Amino acid sequence: MQIHSAIPALRTALQGRGRIVFVPTMGNLHDGHIALMTQARALGDTVVASIFVNRLQFGPNEDFDQYPRTFDADCARLRTAGVDVLFAPTERDLYPEPQEYVVEPPAIQHQLDGEFRPGHFRGVATVVLKLFNIVQPQAALFGKKDYQQLMVLRNMTRQLALPIEIVGGETVRAGDGLALSSRNGYLSPAERSEAPRLYRVLTQLRDAVRAGARDYAALEREASGELDRHGWRTDYVAVRQQTDLQVPQDGNTPLVVLAASRLGSTRLIDNIEI
Ligand code: PAF
């Protein structure tokens, strides 16, 4: 696996490589990331991964400094997964001057996670567009665990006519249902055993909708109350349309239930398609 931090060296390394499939990450790789790398292998000739903890998408009181950086272990996992090229820029490589030109996503950036993480999706869209311009992939993969991120990036790619196929990867879960996330590492042992409740609550809500329940607001309140009774502080539980993440309008659009909640100081998100 080649590793490059400088943009010109990466560009040279990617010449004549056929169809490039790109998996951007912030590192601290888990099986969910590795599943994306494996999926990427089957979609093209060259798999490029990136590791960059993007300051632009963290709020001032969020975990940018604390975010786990495990570069050597990540490289070993990427090699085993058959990744061809790793782009691991420093902040100076990617942001040699203040990033004043940014991608401003539409209203969806202020909803759901965006309501609680102002500026987050602007930071994500900006770095991903920049990474796309550097790597120039034909396809890119993002995990469905960050459902709203996947939608924002899919819409950005379509509206800006980027010649890139955006592919979603299924969420990978621990045996007890907890969605894999780099932030799970922040959980104390007691919090780790409580954490699968988030997935259980979402599956209960999904089952209720499947069984015919249609009072989504009541289901959301019930799910959020169930979490909070067990010591969580819930930002939202929301039943939305898969296509645009808006409140369900009619009975025919496929739905997704999304949640974000805090256990101690750790904020976890998850979702299930209904
Ligand atoms: O999902 C992530 O890890 C990040 O948001 C991404 C897409 C790599 C952009 O920094």
User: Measured in angstroms, how far is the CA atom of residue 251 from the centroid of ligand 1?
Assistant: 33
Pocket of ligand 1 (CB under 6 A): 24-26, 54, 57, 124, 127-128, 146, 149
User: Measured in angstroms, how far is the CA atom of residue 26 from the centroid of ligand 1?
Assistant: 6
> Cα angle vertex 104, ends 114, 139, to 5°?
90
pLDDT tens sequence across 53-80: 999 999 999 999 999 999 999 999 999 9
User: Measured in angstroms, how far is the CA atom of residue 54 from the centroid of ligand 1?
Assistant: 8
Q: What percent of the chain has pLDDT over 90?
A: 99
Helix 197-210 with 216-229: angle, nearest 10 deg: 160
C-alpha distance from residue 221 to each of 110, 229, 263 (Å)? 21, 12, 18
Ligand 1 nearest-atom number relative to CA 124: 9
C-alpha distance from residue 62 to each of 23, 28, 31, 59, 191 (Å)? 24, 17, 24, 5, 19
30 assigned to active site = no
6 SS3 class? coil
Helix 71-80 with 31-41: angle, nearest 10 deg: 40
Tell me the C-alpha distance between 36 and 142, whole Å: 7
Within 8 A by CB and 6+ apart from 231, the residues are 194, 263
**Measuring from atom 9 of ligand 1, which residue has the nearest CA?**
124
Confidence of residue 250 (pLDDT cuts 50, 70, 90): confident
What one-letter code names the amino acid at 113? D
Query: Is the pLDDT assigned to residue 251 strictly greater than 80?
Result: no
135 SS3 class? helix
Which has the closest alpha carbon to 232: 272, 204, 191, 199? 191
The pLDDT score that the predictor gives to residue 252 is: 84
User: Measured in angstroms, how far is the CA atom of residue 24 from the centroid of ligand 1?
Assistant: 6
- The catalytically annotated residue of 30, 33, 110, 120 is 33
The pLDDT score that the predictor gives to residue 261 is: 98
Would you say the pTM of this structure is higher than 0.85? yes
Tokens linked to 159: 């509206």
3 SS3 class? strand
Mutate to test the pocket of ligand 1, among 127, 154, 183 (most ligand atoms within 8 A of CB): 127
The pLDDT score that the predictor gives to residue 270 is: 98
